[in-house]
């Protein structure tokens, strides 16, 4: 029944490793997003895709690469992890980013800890 599901919920890894976070939504939405919430609780957009097309690509290190195999999935791959990458990563979806007053549905988050 989960609308937006992301895995894993917790990810603990060493600096320099490569890791992926997966996200899937079963709401039939066209737009999916990745947000990062840092230790100061700021939620910042990283990427968005609409029906597999990249829409938003904020200034994030190119070690972060999103992949959208279809409109129901948006995965996040991170190369050469650094201490500063430690944060909670939220996946989200909405019907269509072009609609005003769109409601975002968030996944439950992935707590990434880089040691």
**Quick check: 14 binds other proteins (CB under 8 A)?**
no
Query: Which residues have CB under 8 Å from 24's CB, separation 6+?
Result: 4, 5, 6, 72, 73
Q: Distance between alpha carbon 107 and the CA centroid of its chain, in Å?
A: 9
**Quick check: 55 binds other proteins (CB under 8 A)?**
yes
**Quick check: 90 binds other proteins (CB under 8 A)?**
yes
- Alpha carbon distance 24, 58 (integer Å): 21
Q: Of 10-18, 59-67, 76-84, 104-112, which part binds other proteins (CB under 8 A)? A: 104-112
Look at residue 85 and give its three-state secondary structure.
Answer: helix
**Quick check: 25 binds other proteins (CB under 8 A)?**
no
Residues that bind other proteins (CB under 8 A): 31, 40-45, 48, 50, 55-56, 90, 94, 97-98, 100-104, 106-109
């Amino acid at each position: 029944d989960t609308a937006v599901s992301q895995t894993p919920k917790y990810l603990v890894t060493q600096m320099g490793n490569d890791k992926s976070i997966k996200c899937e939504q079963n709401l039939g939405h066209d737009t999916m997003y990745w947000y990062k919430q840092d230790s100061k609780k700021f939620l910042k957009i990283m990427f968005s895709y609409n029906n597999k097309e990249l829409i938003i690509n904020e200034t994030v290190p190119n070690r972060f690469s999103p992949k959208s195999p279809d409109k129901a999935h948006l995965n996040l791959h991170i190369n050469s992890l650094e201490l500063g990458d430690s944060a909670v990563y939220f996946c989200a979806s909405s019907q269509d980013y072009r609609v005003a007053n769109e409601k975002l549905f968030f996944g439950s988050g992935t707590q990434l800890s880089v040691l």
